Amino acid sequence: MTTFKPIAPPVKMPPLENGDRLTRYEFERRYHAMPHIKKAELIEGIVYIASPLRAKSHGKPHARIMTWLGTYEAMTPGVEVLDNATVIFDMDNEAQPDALLRIEQGGLSRITADDYVAGAPELIVEIAASTASIDRHKKLHVYRRNGVQEYIIWRVDDGELDWFYLKDGEYLPLSANSSGIICSEVFPGLWLDTAALLSGDIAKVLAVLQQGLASAV
């Protein structure tokens, strides 16, 4: 007589939800199983899932930053700009910054075999709502601790832009010069006219960037 062993029902994977406290491996397992979620991050072991993004308060500022960084990449061999790429920092932190700029050879980050960024990109940019945002607090500490050399936060609701640089393990504000231009400490010629960016004058933003690029030759 042939006997058949009962087949155990498949284990249902729990959904990825805001506020879950997970290991990085469990976070990745659940995230990969939910392809409809477009942006989820693990920050200090806690899951954050982004809400739908609005056009003027996020989409437009994001596009302006990508135009600025993309132009710099086009004119600067050896650097790479990425949009919303997953960055693996450590066992408790896997972020998805709005934009990043990295040095391709000899930099602090690398591209893994499965096409993610591992390590600290030299520059990260986040589009935030205000000073109350996670970008201004928890993410700032994660990026600082993991050695991100420069960090820009565009606080859209506040109408302000913060640019920090890493010195002796701490983030210090990078101030504008007498012409109102902030110049990167890491990337030669990466200049930003913050007033022009905040007002939407992208032609001036790119003109100032071109000046920076010319000065770096």
pLDDT tens digits for range 53-102? 899 999 999 999 999 999 999 999 999 999 999 999 999 999 999 999 99
Residue 113 burial (CB count, 10 A):
7
Q: In whole numbers, what is the pLDDT of the chain averaged over residues?
A: 93
Task: Give the pLDDT band (50/70/90) at residue 9.
Answer: low
How far is residue 188 from each of residues 111, 161, 180, 209, measured CA to CA in Å? 23, 20, 17, 11
Once rounded to an integer, what is the mean pLDDT over residues 7-27?
Answer: 83
At residue 1, does pLDDT exceed 90? no
What pLDDT does 51 receive? 86
Model pTM?
0.91
Once rounded to an integer, what is the mean pLDDT over residues 173-178?
Answer: 96
Task: Give the pLDDT band (50/70/90) at residue 186.
Answer: very high
At residue 7, does pLDDT exceed 70? no
Task: Considering only residues 58 and 7, tell me which one the structure prediction assigns the higher pLDDT.
Answer: 58
What pLDDT does 130 receive? 80
